Amino acid sequence: MIIIYIDENMSPFLARGFNILQEPLNMKLKEPIMVRSIKDEFGMGAKDEDWIPLAGEQKACVITQDYNINRIRHQRELCKQYNLGMFYFRAPSKNGFTYMDMLKLMVKHWAEITKKATKEKRPFSYKVTQKGSLGEL
């Protein structure tokens, strides 16, 4: 099983919805993909330094708007150490994406995200912008 976590800076409803939408697609996969919310799994306010190792033990990927994880050296190194696959959704402003904008972006890139989550060697990092496609960091 492959787990894709949705960070707590994004709605847990996205995780629940994409998990349901992914279910019929899992029938064609060797390893099913489960979509989970970091908030639901590790608790509201869980420190990155706490959940990163736990997600890494599960060989998970993470979708987040928190680009600081990539900027802060020890957090970036933790992601590498624990072999996480990271997808950074870069918002056009400090306010982040609206719920609908995030939903549209996730739908637009879902096939590519799941392909990388199932096939690509970890650790990896990709950036997603509102206007662009998935770009390697």
DSSP the chain: -EEEEEPTTS-HHHHHHHHHHHHHHHTT-SS-EEEEEHHHHH-TT--HHHHHHHHHHTT-EEEES-THHHHSHHHHHHHHHTT-EEEEEE-SSTT---HHHHHHHHHHHHHHHHHHHHHSPSSEEEEEESSS--EE-
The per-residue pLDDT for 97 is: 87
Q: Which domains does the chain have, with CATH numbers?
A: 2-136 (3.40.50)
* Choice between 6 and 131, residue whose per-residue pLDDT is larger: 6
The per-residue pLDDT for 130 is: 82
The per-residue pLDDT for 129 is: 86
Q: Would the pLDDT of 133 be above 80?
A: no
Task: Kindly report the average pLDDT of the chain as a whole number.
Answer: 94
Over residues 11-18, the mean pLDDT reads 97
* Choice between 132 and 31, residue whose per-residue pLDDT is larger: 31
